[in-house]
Structure 1
Amino acid sequence: MNLDPNQITGYANTFVQVLIDYSPKAISAFVILFVGLYVIRLINKFIRAMMIRRDLEPTLTKFLADILLWTLRVILFVSFISKLGIETSSFVAILGAMGLAIGLSLQGSLSNFAGGVLIILFKPFKVGDFIEGQGVSGTVCEIQIFVTKLLTTNNQTIFIPNGSLSNGNIINYSMEKIRRADLTISISYETNIKQAKDIIIAVLKSNPKVLTTPAADVSVKNLTDSSIQLAVRPWANSEDFWGVYADTLQNCKQAFDNAGIVIQPYVKEFSKKNEITES
């Protein structure tokens, strides 16, 4: 194949002319690209520092910073190819379709993500709190983006989706510094109520973990067919709650035994209808 020198010269001149005409666009596009990457890095660093100062969870900080980083990078890339003269309308349409498809396929995960963000922002509980939610209870070990990790009292690990957890009722037993125990002790009708109450009050006063303010309350709760029910309500610091709960029951039983008072056992009450049916 014979090449015409004049033809080669024409191609070379055309290439050089195109290169000269296109150089300003290419140079400005790459300037935008490199300057944009530098600015994005600064913005990302500033946002991370701001979220850390606001004591946001490390997991949420990293996740939100990464989302911001890639969003800005996509915007920068679209601006870069647009500056090069490439049509971006079809590219943006493809990105939109991909985003819609991903959003539809990850509805549950996005709901859990949104729930995790709400939990971390509004802080109905934090790591170390003992909570109850979605029918389970335990100590919060970790608040992840999609799930919250609980450790139960019998050392079982439970993962609760953040979407359902944030939309349901949450009982935080650790948010307040003090808690009240609600106990019920049943005595027979032959027992002197004042004597029983005095014994219980003495037991509560002898326990240093029972708070004096607010004062503990001992009162008649109910009169059933088989017993007198006394409500015993001592206050304790949250970390001492279960110890006070157990000690109160044990010490009251021992004090009643020493005083010759018998705790009335629970008697199941049958209606007359049931008695007729059984007979």
Structure 2
Amino acid sequence: MNIDIQKVSDQATGYIMVYGTQILMALLIFIIGKWVVGVVSRAVGKALSNRKVDPTIAKFITNIIYYLMMAFVFIAALGQLGVQTASIVAIMGAAGLAVGLALQGSLANFAAGVLMIAFRPCRVGDFVEAGGASGVVKEISIFSTILLTPDNKTVIISNANVMGGNIVNYSMQAKRRVDLVVGVSYSSDLAVVKDQLHEIVANESAVLVGEEVTVAVSELAASSVNFVVRCWVNTPDYWPTYFALTEKVKITFDKKGIEIPFNQMDVNINYTPEANA
């Protein structure tokens, strides 16, 4: 069997010229398109930031635009290869339906992400308790929420878990109430204790002037008389004020001779000489 090498070579060259050019153009469309998508998404993010749009909403919108544009770039690259894009779109639609049924959890996370953006129970920078974890919200993406804990651990929680439970947002309100429980012995003069607690709160600079301050006996416990101390501070000052008041109570009570009872155990040993004879 004789093979016309020249003919085969010419056919191979023709195929390479046709399909090689198509493949090269498809790669160029994909690479350039991906670069353009990146530029556009960053420009949108910057524009939203300049307009003082909430970082949570800005990040969410940027992600949506990026993935939608990348889908168009992918379809355009396939079209350059000669693939019927109408069929691809139909196939992608059918596949999307099948994948959607298989990945109902992911769709639930996406829907929860949309709800979080719409109702905004928390924002980037808020300190929250959600999904079994607590920390500062670093990012709310399409499918998950990222928290940074006080000890610098990153916690990634699915949006469905965040929206499916209680969300405690400690940063949403401008001010918070500090609650302290202080126990003193039954022999203490309650009037003196109340005066000292009022003075401690009054001398704390972070306590908001004009807000209600409560110092009252809250419980007659087994070994102590418990006072409740309540005052208001700006939300960022909550923990510094809480720690400062606790320390000042101990220092002041020690100076004034006010006893703070603590749990004690008395051990009695009965020695009987006859039993050891």
Per the TM superposition, whether the score is higher than 0.5 is yes
Contact 1:59 1:145 survives alignment (8 Å): no
Equivalent in the alignment of 1:124 = 121
For 2:247, give the aligned amino acid. Q
Q: Distance in 2 between matches of 1:160 and 1:71?
A: 26
Identity %: 40
Any conservation in 1 of the 2:138–2:147 contact (CA below 8 Å)? yes
Q: Which residue of 2 aligns with 1:146?
A: 143
Assess, with a 3 A threshold, how the Cα gap between structure 1 residues 138 and 73 changes in structure 2: closer, same or farther.
closer
Match runs of 1:96-175 below 5 Å: 96-175=93-172
Alignment pair present for 1:240 and 2:270: no
CA distance in 2, matches of 1:66, 1:180: 43
Following TM superposition, by how much is the alpha carbon of 1:71 offset from its aligned partner in structure 2, in angstroms? Answer: 8.3
Q: Which residue number corresponds to residue 262 of structure 1?
A: 259
Deviation at 1:145, TM superposition (A): 1.6
1:175 and 1:266 mapped to 2: Cα distance?
Answer: 39
1:188 is matched by which residue type in structure 2? S
Deviation digits for residues 57-106 of structure 1 (CA, Å, limit 9, x no counterpart): 233112333566578899x9xxxxxxxxx9x7x87764442121110222
Which of 189, 203, 206 is the matching residue for 1:206?
203
- Report the counterpart of residue 58 of structure 1 in structure 2: 58
Evaluate the alpha carbon distance shift between residue 91 and residue 252 of structure 1 in structure 2; reply closer, same or farther with a 3 A threshold. closer
Report the RMSD for the aligned CA atoms in angstroms.
Answer: 3.4
User: For structure 2, which runs of at least 5 residues remain unmatched after alignment?
Assistant: 1-36, 77-83, 266-277
Partners of 2:238 and 2:196 in 1: CA distance = 21
Matched with 1:33 is none
Q: Kindly state the Cα deviation for residue 144 of structure 1 after the two structures are TM-superposed.
A: 1.7
Q: Distance in 2 between matches of 1:109 and 1:266?
A: 52
Partner Cα distance (1:267, 1:147) in 2: 49
Q: What amino acid does structure 1 have at the position aligned with 2:235? A: S
- Counterpart AA for 1:174: S
1:191 maps to amino acid: S
Where do 5+ consecutive residues of structure 1 fail to align?
A: 1-40, 77-85, 269-279
Note the C-alpha offset of 1:135. 2.4
Task: Tell whether the 8 Å contact from 1:141 to 1:150 is kept in structure 2 after alignment.
Answer: yes
- State the shift of 1:115 in Å: 1.3
Contact persistence 1:186–1:265 (CA under 8 A): no
Kindly provide the CA deviation profile for residues 188-244 of structure 1, in whole angstroms up to 9, marking residues without a partner as x: 111111111110110111111111231221111111221111111121111110011
Q: In the alignment, what sits opposite 2:249?
A: 252
The change in CA–CA distance for 1:228 and 1:163 in structure 2 (over 3 A counts) is same
Displacement of 1:166 after TM fit?
1.3
Contact 2:125-2:136 within 8 A present in 1 as well = yes
Name the structure 2 match of 1:83: none
Q: Which residue does 1:195 correspond to in 2?
A: 192
Residues 1:70 and 1:198: Cα distance change in structure 2 (over 3 Å): same
In our comparison, the structure showing a higher alpha carbon Rg is 1
**Would the alpha carbon gap of residues 173 and 267 (structure 1) be closer, same or farther in structure 2, given more than 3 Å must change?**
farther
| 2:174 equivalent in structure 1 | 177
Distance 1:178 1:266, change over 3 A: farther
Contact 2:136 2:148 in 1 (8 A): yes
Matched residue count: 218
Could you tell me how far apart the structure 1 residues matched to 2:69 and 2:89 are? 18
**Residue equivalent to 1:8:** none
